[in-house]
Chain A
Amino acid sequence: MDNVITHPHTHETAVAAEHHHQALPQHRHHFETEEQQREAASFGMWLFLLTEIMFFGGMFFAYLLYRNWYYDAFVAASNQLSIPLGAFNTVVLIGSGFFMALGVWAAEVKKKGLLVLFLVITTILGAIFLGVKADEYHEKWEKHHIPGAHFDVSEFVNPHAFGLKETPLAPDMAQRTQVFFFLYFAMTGMHALHMIIGIGILFWLTWRAHFGEFTSGYVAPIENFGLYWHFVDIVWLFLFPLLYLINRHPV
């Protein structure tokens, strides 16, 4: 280890720092400073999030490719989604991200009551998002727009009979709307799964925050969960325009 140098003065400082850290039980001995420990935690969390970018990225790439192959089917199928519901959910999710960020702030300034409150609001907004998502899924179920044996193409082959102003699709292209709905369910489903896991972790964090665990200078779990929650928000910030918005034409 040639980057390790012995430096008496620094050593004194470090010993002094170690005494200081005895008051903070979260400081682990294999980190030189608490700042280093905190950075290591952020670094690790970001590495995990980068694997998530690659994971969701694969699905976004599949979307890009199939949208170009079956463009007309993607236009017709995309117009089946409700922009008001999608926009409402976007606002709900941005709001939950806002309260999560406030939660990190509350932990940093050691306000226990506010931290618990903000974590609870974040959880509630996350639950509202999932509720709206469930309603949208239910509508797809009723319209037989879930890919598989019961998929119904009649709305795409003959949209005028359903009061839609879409351009009718040829039967083979109408079948390709299943590709859109498959990607819709895969991407929003995986996003929703991340939110369900996030809400589970939120319950656990709220419980621990209630006992003052994160308002004594030990904010890393709140901070890193915040990174996770914001990442899930970012995925939705792209899902919303790609699935709901960009194929919308004034008809």
Chain B
Amino acid sequence: MSDAHDATNVTNPEHSEHHILTPLNYAVVFGTLLIFTGITVGAAYIDLGVLNPIIALGIASFKAVVVILFFMHVKYQSRLIKMTVGAGFFTFLVLITMTLSDYMSRAWGLW
């Protein structure tokens, strides 16, 4: 240990308490994921036109968020981790949107 300590590292509330989820919490998450898997499979057999991909991807996104928040503990992590995860997905969305806008503006009428 050096003489100079960064006091903020010891007392900073950024370093959140370690939160332990119980098996019951995980079971509820597991049940939720199973139910939505059933819904997405069922919805695939119904012809809803343009809504089919929207529903399928909406359910997949919901399931992913549930996994990230609870199985991956992001809900109980420090703001540093939350910002890191959020920034990653945001950057990915920016890349998709910018590339897609380029493709779409090159091929009018084909989308």
- Taking Cβ atoms with an 8 Å cutoff, the residues of A that contact B are 1, 3-7, 10-11, 13-15, 17-18, 29, 32-33, 35-36, 38-39, 42-43, 46-47, 49-50, 53-54, 57, 61, 64-65, 68-69, 83, 87, 90-91, 94-95, 97-98, 100-102, 105, 108-109, 223, 226-227, 230-231, 233-234, 237-238, 240-242, 244-246, 248-250
Report A84 CB to chain B, min CB distance, Å: 9
A11 to B15, CA, bound (A): 18
Alpha-carbon distance between A13 and B10 when the two chains are bound, in angstroms: 9
Q: Which residues of A contact B47 (CB under 8 A)?
A: 249-250
20 contacts between A and B (CB under 8 A): A4-B6, A14-B10, A33-B9, A35-B15, A39-B81, A50-B88, A61-B96, A64-B100, A98-B27, A98-B29, A101-B71, A102-B23, A105-B20, A105-B26, A108-B20, A233-B67, A241-B40, A245-B43, A246-B57, A248-B45
Q: Smallest distance from the beta carbon of A221 to chain B beta carbons, Å?
A: 15
Q: Which 3 pairs of residues, A with B, have the shortest CB-CB distance? A: A50-B88, A241-B56, A245-B44
- Chain A residues near B53: list those with CB within 8 A: 241, 246
Q: How far is the CA of A38 from the CA of B78 in the complex (A)?
A: 11
Contact partner of B72 (CB less than 8 A), chosen from A3, A227, A241, is A227
Question: How far in angstroms is the closest Cβ of chain A from B32?
Answer: 10
Assembled-state Cα–Cα distance A18/B5 (Å): 13
Interchain CB contact under 8 A, B9 and A32: yes
Q: Is there contact, CB below 8 Å, between B37 and A3?
A: no
Given A39-B80, A46-B85, A245-B40, A6:B4 Cβ within 8 A = yes
Q: Flag if B44 contacts A46 (CB, 8 Å).
A: no
| Contact present for A95 and B44 (CB under 8 Å) | no
Of A13, A42, A234, A238, which contacts B81 at CB under 8 A? A42
Q: Give the chain B neighbours of A64 by CB distance below 8 A.
A: 96, 100
Q: Chain B residues near A238: list those with CB within 8 A.
A: 57, 60, 64
Among B21, B33, B77, which residue has its beta carbon within 8 angstroms of that of A94? Answer: B33
In-complex Cβ contact of B18 among A4, A38, A69 (8 A):
A38
Which residues of the other chain, A, contact B68 by a CB distance below 8 angstroms? 230, 234
Kindly list chain A residues whose C-beta atoms are within 8 Å of the C-beta of B56.
241-242, 245-246
User: How far is it, in angstroms, between the C-alpha of A237 and the C-alpha of B72 when the chains are bound?
Assistant: 15
Q: For residue A150, give the distance in angstroms from its CB to the closest CB of chain B.
A: 30
Q: In the complex, A14→B1 CA distance in Å?
A: 9
Q: Which chain A residue shows the least CB distance to B27? A: A98
B17 → chain A, closest Cβ, in Å?
A: 8
The docked-state distance in angstroms from the alpha carbon of A226 to that of B73 is: 10
Are B81 and A241 interface neighbours, CB within 8 A? no
Cβ-defined partner of B71 (8 Å) among A35, A47, A97, A246: A97
* B89 CB → nearest A CB, Å: 7
